[in-house]
Amino acid sequence: MSVRIFSSAIRTHLHFHKIHADVSVRYYAGRPTAYVPYGKTGDGNYGSTLGKQSADYTEPVRDKILNGVKSIPFTAKDSVFNIGDYGAADGSASMAMIGQMLATLKDQHGPEAQFQVIYEDSEVNDFNSLFKRTAGIIPEPPSYLLEMDNVYVLAAGTNFYKQCVPSNSMHFIMSMIAVHWLSKTPIHFKDSIYKYPESSAEEEMALEKQSEIDLETFLLLRSREMKKGGLLVLGAGCETVDKSSGKIKYLSETFITLLTKVWQEYRESGKISKEEFFNTNLSFCLHSMAQLRKPFDDKMSAVSKSGLCLLSAETVINPDIFYTTWREKKDKEGIDDREEFARMYTSAHRNWGNSTFMNGLSDSRSQEEKKKIVDEFYESVEKRISKLSPEEFKDDLRLTYLVIRKE
């Protein structure tokens, strides 16, 4: 899972309807201010916590990826096969999948074929941990570079609401659990950190409108970067309708609801101000299937006209591995270790939320004071989880997988 919030607004959406124009499109200025990776740079924190769960995200589309890459036009004699991982974090989540893909392609094109893996993430991403992982200095998961020749690894410290690589250069791009992050926060929710059952129609409409603009922008830029016949595979955090209750459920809903509740309590107790609560917003939008399909189902859309064609779209409920670990320990050892469940769960999901809470706090506070408040906040969240039944708290992860070809 990659976490990405960018403070700059898109200057114009209309440029992307001329995606093949020769004029360079640039609409982002300045450094992102809302997101700083959690943990010490170079210590592999993401992979040792949330990455344990994220590594399974590619499994539902594994066979489609391995079969699909075989059909991508490629002449090994005089070119390099380019693979992109967008929203890569420290590379841990995609390491096994990319290794399997490379093995498949090497079997098809021969040992002398050359491959380039480009890891994309924001300017403040922990690329130190990424390169330590690919070099094997951080040994888990094992790096494909330790066993393969003619594979070259690069990084693009460029947010994906800009063009990240040269036009017509990529054979394959994947992005797992990243496209829900928006280019900017479109509105401040009055009484929550994300869309809530009590959110107003105005709040929801603003969020969905920004999401629609950003999704189209992302797709058009990837279309520009991809070669004809190339594949784009997205795993998107999503909303689904629960069949038993008829209610809308979304990715990590249980955890986000708890974060909101505890932050509300901090506001009511005076630990944070009302303004600080109001300024704390998760700048993402979890898509419905209809929202994700819309740019492809409309054959007159800019996305369809750019040459992107949707091959498949399916929603999968991925098991919560932290719950599974707790359950197995209870069943096999008779130990109901809810404290460990709460610790693992909180440390993993703090990766994508920590900066949101830090940046919601007033600039009149020192960095040390902000850190103390947010540390105490996550300690409160962890204690609250430890008192709950994992059976009730678990978050099976709802993801929609899109497989897209550039015609």
**Average pLDDT score over residue span 144-152:** 96
Q: Measured between alpha carbons, how far is 329 from 344 in angstroms, rounded to an integer?
A: 14
| DSSP E strand boundaries for 70-225 | 80-86, 114-120, 151-156, 170-176
What are the tokens at 227? Answer: 């070669």
User: Could you tell me if 351 and 49 are in contact, meaning their C-beta atoms sit under 8 angstroms apart?
Assistant: yes
Cβ atoms 161, 214 nearer than 8 A: yes
pLDDT at position 384, please?
Answer: 97
What is the pLDDT, as a whole number, of residue 249? Answer: 80
Q: Tens digits of per-residue pLDDT, 293-319? A: 999 999 999 999 999 999 999 999 888
Which CATH superfamily, name and number, covers 14-188+198-241+283-319+395-406?
A: Vaccinia Virus protein VP39 (3.40.50.150)
Is the separation of the CB atoms in 98 and 136 below 8 Å? Answer: no
Proportion of the chain above pLDDT 90, given as a percent: 74
Q: Which residue from 214, 232, 233 is spatially nearest to 291, judged by alpha carbons?
A: 214
Taken in order 126, 128, 129, 133, the sign of the CA dihedral is positive
pLDDT of residue 34: 53
Question: What is the mean pLDDT of the segment spanning 267-285?
Answer: 96
The DSSP symbol for 310 reads E
When pLDDT is cut at 50, 70 and 90, the band that residue 354 belongs to is: very high
Q: What is the pTM of this model?
A: 0.89
Work out the average pLDDT over 384-402. 92
Burial string for 301-318 (b: 16+ CB within 10 Å, else e) reads: bbbbebbbebeebebbeb
Q: What is the pLDDT of residues 229-265, one digit of tens each?
A: 999 999 999 888 877 777 788 878 899 999 999 999 9
**d(Cα 232, Cα 173) in Å, to the nearest integer?**
5
When pLDDT is averaged across residues 68-72 and rounded to a whole number, the result is 97
For position 240, what pLDDT does the model report?
85
Whole-number pLDDT of residue 12:
37
pLDDT tens digits, one per residue of 171-222: 999 999 999 999 998 888 989 999 877 788 899 899 999 999 999 999 999 9
